[in-house]
A and B are shown apart, each in its own frame.
Chain A
């Protein structure tokens, strides 16, 4: 659960007073809070940890670390949720 996964911000909205966006991780999208990265815009790549973007990274960096996590077979467990359909 301590992994942080890079993904691409697809949209950005304000929900219950907090800035959130759908973030795409390969074939999976999840909602993520963007309040810790006010500098990030739609189309940017961010590192997401337990549903919160914690830093902005470039696209090449994001794709490389995503592939690594995928090859290690740890993505599914990390993004698993009983409450959100995959």
Chain B
């Protein structure tokens, strides 16, 4: 219980932990999808507070982690061309490609820049008409509307020097793929609170009909996550499988219709490869034909670039909840946030990076025995 005194709502957290222990009569395996939730769970040691039968496994909800190797290679190739400014979110620079990463392209004179919002890339393009500005856009449903808006604005303004290398992914098809796998262990999901802020949670009802698995949309604070876990354990113990919404402060059934509208205007659903997992049908978003003039993959002719993923990294198993980062022989030694072998060690939302930050001592202790 050493972490509980760090909680602002220590009394509430303690009560939730006790209630989970009281209700759980059997072992249950629960998965949180979102990398932001993984980070909170590790930071506050929530997995260590739970009764031993309630196991948390970590899902594929880190967009940096699931961007395919070949897409990183495409970004590197485009960024290495003269006259190009490649702009992306900070974490993308350190993700290893087949031979190098964007950070090294930048160090070797490539014009690679970090922004926190796609609209900044648009502004840069307006101010620098002599540069070909490529925004390398990754993300789940939370991020896709923002990226869509940048493309929509560029078209409306008739910008000739802005395009997007897009690699968007969708949560429900990934959950369907995990649940369809013969190796699946997950019996209940904590739904991603900010994805559902945008998309609502209607889509998750189909998954429940198909797989009879409870899903509780959860927030990001420790007490949110404990409450979501309690709601899941209660459903499982009572033999129910429903969608429930713990994060009512931000999530509605319909989601944000304004964001959904722009998303549908610019992007269409497509099959998508996920790093470490492989192809998942209808799990991604492509730029629609009407916006093809802003599709960097087409403009720079990189559609044919393919890459094989390195064998040492076990991120495939980690991203599917089959293994923990600490099960990897390279964890914390040959693979660290400074020198990552795989993408889950790069982003603070990646399970490996979260374990590295908060659980290294466990590995050291194990090695000492």
Contact = CB atoms under 8 A, between A and B. Distances in A.
Given A1-B63, A80-B116, A18 B259 contact: no
Interface string B25-59: 00000000011100110010000000000000000
B134 to A, nearest CB: 14
Interface residues on A, range: 35 or more
B355 to A, nearest CB: 15
A72 B64 contact: no
Contacts of A82: 113-115
Contacts of A22: none
Given A36-B256, A52-B145, A82-B114, A31 B90 contact: no
Which of B61, B64, B123 has the most A CB atoms < 10 Å from its CB? B123
Interface string A45-61: 00101111011011001
B163 interface: no
B68 interface: no
B339 to A, nearest CB: 18
A52 B117 contact: yes
Contact of A1 (B113, B156, B221, B347): B347
A42 interface: no
A27 interface: no
A82 to B, nearest CB: 4
Interface in A60-86: 61, 64-65, 67-68, 72, 74, 77-84
B89 A50 contact: yes
Contact of A51 (B35, B62, B118, B153): B118
Interface string A1-38: 11110000000000011101000000000111101111
B32 to A, nearest CB: 13
B143 interface: yes
Given A79-B116, A83-B113, A49 B153 contact: no
B214 interface: no
Contacts of B256: 36-37, 54-55
Contacts of A51: 116-120, 146
Given A30-B116, A37-B258, A74-B39, 14 more contacts: A1-B90, A1-B91, A2-B35, A3-B36, A3-B349, A17-B153, A31-B117, A33-B117, A38-B258, A51-B116, A51-B117, A65-B220, A68-B221, A77-B91
- Nearest 7 CB-CB pairings of A with B: A51-B117, A1-B89, A52-B146, A82-B113, A36-B258, A36-B259, A50-B146
